[in-house]
Structure 1
Amino acid sequence: MARELSKENLELVLMQAMMAAKNVRTQRDRLLELHRRLERHRAAPAPTPADAEARLGQIASDVFKVYYLGLDPGARMLSVCLDTAVKNRAVSAVNIAFALLPDEQLYDALLAQKLPARPTTQPQAIARVESAILAVKMLEEHHLPRCVECLVGGQAPRPPSPESLAKADLSDDPDATAKTRHVASDGDVDKALDYLCRANRITALAIKHIDLAVAVLSRFLDRKELARLAKLTDRGAYLGVEISQPTTSPDPSTPSTWD
């Protein structure tokens, strides 16, 4: 039977979850902006192949920033939550079966997963964290690298292997124009958009899981302790690297689009 976390471990888990919530929500906003930019490109393509290559290359570079420099730290924060819970026997069981599913099967399984709609216990909160980890890891290891590959070709780097950066040309090096480059076709752009749509849907699901976990775990601390953790979270949350065009343009989609 699962145990409740000690106050010290509860604060650790809750603060990491709160920081992960800020991190993943920020990446979601950036992904929505990148989706809008790619849709605008499809509706009004660049006048020349060179312009299209430059525009799509910049979008690919920004997608890379989101998953490699943004979501990966968020996944590590969530992993701290789960590891702490497992070590302290605060989970009923870890869902090994989901972790072994191929990416597209996992995508469908996570969307269809049935968890208590209104979690109340710490183990139920940790189950939400576990599902959020699977969602975020799928984003950074499958959907978003595949999106990059559709836009620029080659094999996109996947965390946590910095040496794999050499396998994809995502730099702003002016000499890169002398290299043989992949120019995305209309079909490639459509595939990239599909991967971004799936990524946005899974990111929204991850945020839902994290928010529910934070809400449940917060009930086990008093208001003063929560206020202190909130201040620490605001100061310590890592939000990744800003994309080339800040996420300021209006979102034409309704929230239900990605739920």
Structure 2
Amino acid sequence: MAMARQVSKKDLEVVLTQAMMAAKNVRAQRDRLLELHRRLQRHKAAAPAPADADADARLGELGSDVIKVYYLGLEAGAKMLGSCVEIAVESNAIAAINIAFALMPDEQLYDALLAQRLPPRPTTQAHAFARLEAALLAVKMLEEHHLPRCVECLVGGQAPVPGKPAPDAASADAEGLANADRPDAAAKKSSKPRRAASGDVHKALDYLRRANKITNLAVKHIDHAVTVLSRFADPEEVARLTELADKHAYLGVEISQPTTSADPSTD
């Protein structure tokens, strides 16, 4: 097996910038997901009456906020991570995308990513890119599976998924929520979201719990990768790129009730 190469200085700067911005993006979405999980827990604990219109509105708002997190937030982070992995593959810094992981069903991939054994103290560029690849797989799984399923538990219908055809007319509830928050589309008033049954709220909570856990893992992977890759660049250049990322990182769209604290716990 051929030894992995190192990326060029120019490519390293691009990767570092993208990874730094991805770290900020994914961390912001993690904090929002934690807040949404707390809000849904409070909703469930309140046990609203079956005819409580305010409860319907709260579930609709939660569904809209979850869409903001993955459709208007994590998707940008996924693109940044994807560009890092693409450069690594083209530069032979990693052999290829992990096909076994890429083809796994989502629930199996969730367990595989949590159980994945990567060097605890990464030192090489190959180690760093393996972390970025794992983070990319985690983020894509969140925006294509866990978070859309969470929205469907909250408001019914078929939730939008980045890069896939928009839900059909039979999924007006979730589609309306997505369009209402998309900056490139006219706001479309959705039909009134149906009340999620208690079992659906429980499922939504479980999807959010899993999303919190895997998002936290993605943040750790990206942070490790940035730390390692920074060692291969000039310290002054790293400082410049850090400042650039601080200024230009896209953090997504704020949810209806902004996060009050950054709690890394996934319990």
TM-score by length of 1: 0.92
Q: How is 1:174-193 mapped onto 2 (pairs within 5 angstroms)?
A: 176=190, 179=191, 181-193=193-205
The residue that corresponds to 2:184 in the other structure is none
Alignment-mate amino acid for residue 40 of structure 2: L
Match of 2:57 among 46, 49, 54: 54
What value does the CA root-mean-square deviation take over the aligned residues?
1.9
Q: What is the SS of the residue equivalent to 1:127? A: helix
Q: 1:206-250: per-residue Cα shift (whole Å, max 9, x none)?
A: 011101100000001121101100111011100000000010158
8 Å Cα contact 1:145/1:156 also seen in 2? yes
Q: What is the SS of the residue equivalent to 1:163? A: coil
**Kindly tell me: are residues 67 and 3 of structure 1, through their superposed partners in 2, closer, same or farther at Cα, counting changes over 3 Å?**
same
Q: 1:58-95: per-residue Cα shift (whole Å, max 9, x none)?
A: 00000000000000000000000000111111113421
Give the unaligned 5+ runs of structure 2. Answer: 182-186
Q: How is 1:67-106 mapped onto 2 (pairs within 5 angstroms)?
A: 67-106=70-109
User: Taking every aligned residue pair, what percent have the same amino acid on both sides?
Assistant: 68
Rounded to whole Å, the distance in 2 between the matches of 1:90 and 1:100 is 22
Match of 1:144 among 144, 147, 150: 147
Q: How is 1:85-234 mapped onto 2 (pairs within 5 angstroms)?
A: 85-161=88-164, 163-164=166-167, 167=171, 168=174, 169-170=176-177, 171=180, 176=190, 179=191, 181-234=193-246
Rounded to whole Å, the distance in 1 between the matches of 2:201 and 2:145 is 17
Alignment-mate amino acid for residue 114 of structure 2: L
**Kindly tell me: are residues 6 and 111 of structure 1, through their superposed partners in 2, closer, same or farther at Cα, counting changes over 3 Å?**
same
Rounded to whole Å, the distance in 1 between the matches of 2:96 and 2:130 is 9
Length, aligned pairs only: 253
Q: What is the Cα deviation at residue 180 of structure 1?
A: 6.3
Match of 2:260 among 231, 244, 248: 248
Rounded to whole Å, the distance in 2 between the matches of 1:243 and 1:181 is 18
Q: Which moved more, 1:84-93 or 1:135-144?
A: 84-93
8 Å Cα contact 1:132/1:209 also seen in 2? yes
